[in-house]
Structure 1
């Protein structure tokens, strides 16, 4: 069975349920944290696929990944229990991404990621967020990341568009130009 079809069916059902109960924002926060946990800890997915763990242990693991020490919301717990009872835990990460995508589309939320060589100030971060919000006519979620390997400049990802103004990329382009030019000479 196709992973995308199963995941989107669950995500759409969860979105409809969240709208009917008014728990969209709470579920969005919980699934955002769960998504971060999946990205940070790839072992989480392997643990969920482990047949030795019981449904209760998997539920506790997922709730801890989503909300930490706080208690998970009723809707979140009910949905995760449904997923576990139907043995769809291997699709949970994709369900999570599908729900986040549907919520962002419904609420007109854009996602951006700014990668810089050194940390940026809050003021610069706010200016970038406001500019992107104005251009996209949407609320922006902006993640910042520091990556010294780009040597300077920045890389800005917004939805499906990438603006790469990093020094490392510029140096690669210059190097490639020299290589191409030297091939023509010989």
Structure 2
């Protein structure tokens, strides 16, 4: 995450705190982040030096027309400062800052296939035990390359119980003994 994106996110969070709209903006930023993440075309438009700033602003205000005025102001400021490429990172930074302020721990679990409800509940229980926090959000990423098992990340803690990792360990042990 760039320092500039974090600065913009902090400014937006400060404005939201003044207006008591932190939760509304949290919803906005989740929507903005997901929309940008899911659209390769939108990412290209935001990065493009060829597309005029005004056209970017019009497109973004249309795409996010259902969002709050603060989100619209953020879009205008980013466009005016020629920083539209930061919008996704600003949204992500805001989400992280908001979660930190609320004491919410975000855990990422990477699996080869989507989590079942039963496994999700077990992972949530483990994360709550590890963090000591009742406020936990679980994000599931699917990566078939890990073959099976899972990788769990909470803050700077990572627990790798993937089959790919176990194969790697076996391979290293085997090559040491030759």
Q: TM class, shorter-chain normalised?
A: 0.7 to 0.9
Equivalence for 1:62: 60
| CA distance in 2: counterparts of 1:140 and 1:171, whole angstroms | 31
State the secondary structure of the residue aligned to 1:118. coil
Sort the Cα spacing of 1:171 and 1:49 in 2 relative to 1 into closer, same or farther, 3 A.
closer
Change beyond 3 A, Cα 1:130–1:33: farther
Matching residue of 1:48: 46
Instruction: Identify the residue that residue 141 of structure 2 maps to in structure 1.
Output: 145
Question: Residue 63 of structure 1: CA displacement?
Answer: 4.9
Shift in Å, 1:124: 2.5
| 1:62, distance to aligned residue in structure 2 (A) | 3.3
**CA distance, structure 2, for counterparts of residue 119 and residue 50 of structure 1:** 34
1:113·1:158 contact (CA, 8 Å) conserved in 2? yes
1:85 equivalenced with 2:83 (yes/no): no
Shift of 1:60: 4.6
2:37/2:88 contact within 8 Å kept: no
Q: What is the total number of aligned residue pairs between the two structures?
A: 176
2:90 to 90, 95, 110: 95
Q: Residue 23 of structure 1 is aligned with which of 18, 21, 24?
A: 21
Query: Aligned partners of 2:87 and 2:143: how far apart in 1?
Result: 29
Q: Which runs of 5+ in 1 are unaligned?
A: none
* Shift in Å, 1:177: 0.7
CA distance in 2, matches of 1:18, 1:86: 21
- TM-score normalised by L of structure 1: 0.79
Matches within 5 A, 1:1-186: 3-4=2-3, 6-63=4-61, 71-136=66-131, 137-182=133-178
Provide the rounded CA distance (Å) in 1 between the counterparts of 2:62 and 2:110.
29
Q: Name which one, 1 or 2, has greater alpha-carbon Rg.
A: 1
CA distance in 2, matches of 1:55, 1:27: 24
RMSD, aligned CA: 2.5
The 2-side partners of 1:61 and 1:132 are apart by 40
CA–CA distance in structure 2, aligned partners of residues 82 and 156 of structure 1: 37
TM-score by length of 2: 0.82
